[in-house]
Chain A
């Protein structure tokens, strides 16, 4: 019940507007101490570096926008249950790739990229696509090219494929089959890349045209020590940062033939022995639904950690470890009072951390000191995104 609060708030706002509209004359003093509200239409700003986007959670529509500095909610982007959101790098639009049915839980299936104006949050248009994958809240299922001109929507209908969408002409271009691969990685100037079940990285060059697929040499063991699909991408360095279930950190310099580093152990970076896949070997492991967040300007990776053994990767985080990716050192550890399910970090100069749990409790921390800035009840229980570094 509680987790419906985003809607409840929406209802309250709508009711308030309704009452004002019925036209009680604006009285200076209301006998009940109520202040009449004026009905009007507001616009909001384009995405700001301190803004976070928090999905309401499984089964609940809507992505709430929060100003991390004030802790206040700014608006809601209309995102349906089976959807993923991407933000235009220039801040003009919110794109939602979604699958809906004409009669709610039945009827004709419709897959699309829905385009919203970022200032009015109004629907601009819908771009029909053949199909997408029927899961939600996975950031790597819907990515944009760095110039914001192309959208790549992961599809699994029936086989793994990627729908390429022209966001300028607002048209579907083509579907590229990518058997055995998933989790899309930006690859500016080339196209995009993806991680594959044989432990390679696939790169799709010229995805809007000939779409040529190449594979790196295998570098990770998809079945023994998988990579979390919640990986990071650093636009300035054109580098992707990956973390495996045991805490191995890989970086990949993106390009036509991405070069992937030798991995190092996150636990070793914190002064412990590296974690293993061996059963009953207890130690610190990364985990949760959205375990990593990356602050590009400082090159710091924020990781939700818990005590456990291998294959406990869904456990929520009791600590945040801050890894300086380049120097291979865990530079800070932030203990959490309540275990967190999702973590995100804002991209501005004074970064903020946004955490939430499955009960929708939101928490904003100073990313440098760990100091608590805001607690937000009913913030949303789903995946969190940060505004792009603008």
Chain B
């Protein structure tokens, strides 16, 4: 696992990504460029945005991988479910890039990559008539209780409350 993670780390660092079926990315270069094009404007090209009021993805987003409900939360975010990436498999690869590459090293060991079917099921149930702040808090509580996520995940970035 450790070597695999190191390989994945290379993608974020900018070296030529290698295909990695274990992380659900047949075309990691496309997954990364899709992320940069569709998400990077708000979340930063490396998933780091602190201290802006956008959740820091780097080293944190992987915590949500561990329960069906928190996984679903990621796919049902309006910016994800309504993404311009219309192909479900392609969006699943984008999201695998987000959790496995940007999210490391904090990735639950037994987590399964997202599939096109996961994306297809989540899309019609986008979180578009709810309070997203509350929905996030609820999912963070699950990740803390069930997956050992740190309390700092409640914030948008480590040390936010202290500021």
Also in contact, A196 and B54, with CB within 8 A (given A179-B78, A223-B84, A223-B86): no
Partner of B127, one of A157, A179, A214: A179
- Whether A202 is near chain B, meaning CB under 8 Å from some CB there, is yes
Q: Taking the complex as formed, is A16 at the interface, i.e. its CB lies under 8 A from any CB of chain B?
A: no
Indicate whether B79 reaches chain A with its CB closer than 8 angstroms.
yes
A197-B53 CB under 8 A given contacts A177-B132, A215-B128, A215-B129: no
Residue B133 lies at the interface, judged by CB distance under 8 Å to chain A: yes
Query: Which chain B positions have C-beta within 8 A of A198?
Result: 78, 81-82, 126, 128
Q: Residue on A with the closest CB to B85?
A: A223
Q: Which of A157, A158, A180, A223 contacts B128 (CB 8 A)?
A: A180
Provide the A159-182 mask, 1 if CB < 8 A to any CB of B, else 0.
Answer: 110000000000000000101110
Check A159/B132 contact, CB under 8 A, given A180-B78, A180-B82, A223-B84.
yes
A20 lies within 8 A of chain B by Cβ:
no
A213 within 8 A of B: yes
Interface assignment of A222: CB less than 8 Å from any CB of chain B? yes
Q: Write the B145-162 contact mask toward A (1 if CB under 8 angstroms, else 0).
A: 000000000001000000
Contact among A157, A158, A197 with B78 in the assembled complex (CB-CB below 8 Å): A197
Q: Is B131 an interface residue (CB 8 A)?
A: yes
Expressed in whole angstroms, the Cα–Cα distance for A223 and B81 within the complex equals 12
Interface residues on A, range: 10 to 19
> C-beta contact mask, B103-134 vs A, less than 8 Å → 1, else 0?
00000000000000000000000111111110
A157 to B129, CA, bound (A): 17
With A157-B53, A158-B53: A197-B130 Cβ-Cβ less than 8 Å: no
Q: Is A179 touching B130 in the complex (CB atoms < 8 A)? A: yes
* Interface flags, A174-211, vs B, CB<8A=1, else 0: 00010111000000000000001110101000000000
Distance of A223 Cα from B82 Cα, bound (Å): 9
B contact face: mostly helix, strand, loop, or mixed: loop
Q: How far is the CB of A86 from chain B (nearest CB, A)?
A: 25
- Bound state CA distance, A181 and B127, in angstroms? 11
Known: A158-B156, A223-B84. Is A180-B126 also a contact (CB below 8 A)?
yes
Q: Which chain A residue shows the least CB distance to B55? A: A158
Contacts of A202 in B (CB 8 A): 128-129
Chain B residue at minimum C-beta to C-beta distance from A181: B128
Distance between A297 CB and nearest chain B CB, rounded to angstroms: 36
Report A50 CB to chain B, min CB distance, Å: 41
Chain B residue with the shortest CB-CB distance to A213: B129
**Known pairs A157-B53, A180-B78, A223-B84; A196 contacts B133 (CB<8 A):** no
Most buried by B among A157, A177, A213, A222: A177
CB neighbours (8 Å) of A159 from chain B are 132-133
A197 touches B131 (CB 8 A): no
**A17, chain B: closest CB distance, angstroms:** 44
Contacts of B82 in A (CB 8 A): 180, 196-198, 222-223
Q: How far is the CA of A268 from the CA of B12 in the complex (A)?
A: 48
Q: Name the one of B86, B133, B156 contacting A177, with C-beta atoms under 8 angstroms.
A: B133
B72-91 vs A, Cβ < 8 Å mask (1 yes, 0 no): 00000111011110100000
User: What B residues does A214 contact at CB under 8 A?
Assistant: 129
> Which residues in B have their C-beta under 8 angstroms from that of A197?
78-79, 82
Whether the Cβ atoms of A179 and B132 lie closer than 8 Å is yes
For B128, list chain A residues within 8 Å (CB). 179-181, 196, 198, 200, 202, 215
Q: Which residues of A contact B131 (CB under 8 A)?
A: 177
Give A177 to B78 CA distance when docked, in angstroms.
Answer: 12
Among B53, B128, B130, B131, which residue has the most Cβ atoms of chain A within 10 A?
Answer: B128
Chain A contacts for B81, CB-based, 8 A: 198
- Tell me how far the C-beta of B138 lies from the nearest C-beta in chain A, rounded to whole angstroms: 14
Q: In residues 217-256 of chain A, which contact B (Cβ within 8 Å)?
A: 222-223
Shortest Cβ distance from residue A33 to the other chain B in the assembled complex, whole angstroms: 58
- Please name all residues of chain B whose beta carbon is closer than 8 Å to the beta carbon of A158 when the two chains form the complex: 53-55, 133, 156
B-facing residues in A102-154 (Cβ within 8 Å): none
Given the complex, which residues of A lie within 8 Å of B129, measured CB to CB?
Answer: 179, 202, 213-215
Which residues of B are found within 8 Å of A157, using beta-carbon distances? 53
Query: Cβ of B133: which chain A residues have Cβ within 8 Å of it?
Result: 158-159, 177
CB pairs A–B below 8 angstroms (14 shown): A157-B53, A159-B132, A177-B130, A179-B77, A180-B78, A180-B128, A197-B82, A202-B128, A214-B129, A215-B128, A215-B129, A222-B82, A223-B82, A223-B83
> Closest 10 A-B residue pairs measured CB to CB?
A180-B78, A197-B82, A223-B84, A159-B132, A177-B131, A213-B129, A158-B53, A180-B128, A179-B78, A179-B132
16 further interface pairs, Cβ-Cβ under 8 Å (given A157-B53, A159-B133, A180-B127): A158-B54, A158-B133, A158-B156, A177-B130, A179-B127, A179-B128, A179-B129, A180-B78, A197-B79, A198-B78, A198-B128, A200-B128, A202-B128, A213-B129, A214-B129, A215-B128
